[in-house]
Structure 1
Amino acid sequence: MATPVLTPAALHRCLADETRLTLTLLLCAESELCVCEMTQALAAPQPKISRHLAYLRRAGLLRGRRQGAWIYYRLEPTLPTWVSIILEASRDAAPVEVTAACRRLGDAGAASQRQAACHAESTTAPFPFIPGDSA
């Protein structure tokens, strides 16, 4: 599948939403993040984060890779130079939300520790199975 051509208007639509801006700038600071790391960093529910990540991926700003049950995202490596300049300038402006997300991510430890913790959490069922219950 070919990467969509990212236009200035499309980029600004992506970054106009606070959640998408924070996710994108967080990925500027980290080479790759798992969805569960981003939910922790933004203190937001997983469906919300996944919806915004899908939007950014469809726009051609992010690339995802599946590893087992988890999806890891990073900035699209073939982004045009003008996009990288805008993202770097936006990152340097460090909106409060991005600074807080980076701090929460750092407080959770190194990438390997964060991933081990969130992967361990996801293996435990949130609700006990009760025989006879139907879904």
Structure 2
Amino acid sequence: MVVAQFHKALSEQTRLRIMALILEHKEVCVCDLVAVLDMPQGTVSRHLSYLKKSGLVQSVTRGTWRYYQLSESLSQPLLAILKLTLDTLNSDCQVQRDLTSFKPSNC
């Protein structure tokens, strides 16, 4: 993974919110992200696609739903940067609302 691509992927608020949820819950379904982010499925999927192309997340399909988790190929230094970045978001009101209101539905 190119470091500049990593930082570019995290330069958008919605993608940071998604990454905070994935880091907190290990695996998230698109349907749950749509609910907590209060965004259309297409918008959420577009951000997830960007994160996937950037090498930050990977997905698995179960039935009709896709589940996303951190990429197994994410290097330890980049994972540490990601965790530090997301730790600084703990004071962000929107991220806090996302984390507290997230309820996995097991789609």
TM-score normalised by structure 2 residue count: 0.91
Structure 1 position 87 matched with structure 2 position 82 = yes
1:1-135 map, 5 Å: 6-93=1-88, 94=90, 95-105=92-102, 108=103, 111=104, 114-115=105-106, 119=107
C-alpha distance in structure 1 between counterparts of 2:29 and 2:37, whole Å: 13
- Offset of residue 97 of structure 1: 2.2
- Offset of residue 84 of structure 1: 0.9
Q: What SS class does the counterpart of residue 78 from structure 1 fall into?
A: coil
C-alpha distance in structure 2 between counterparts of 1:87 and 1:96, whole Å: 19
Identity among equivalent pairs (%): 30
Contiguous gaps of at least 5 residues in structure 1 = 1-5, 120-135
CA contact 2:55–2:73 (8 Å) conserved in 1: no
Q: With a CA cutoff of 8 Å and minimum separation of 6, indicate the structure with the bigger relative contact order.
A: 2
Poorly superposed stretches of 4+, deviation over 4 Å: none
Return the index of the structure with the highest Cα Rg: 1
- Offset of residue 78 of structure 1: 2.1
CA contact 2:30–2:66 (8 Å) conserved in 1: yes
Count the aligned residue pairs. 105
Counterpart of 1:17 in structure 2: which amino acid? E
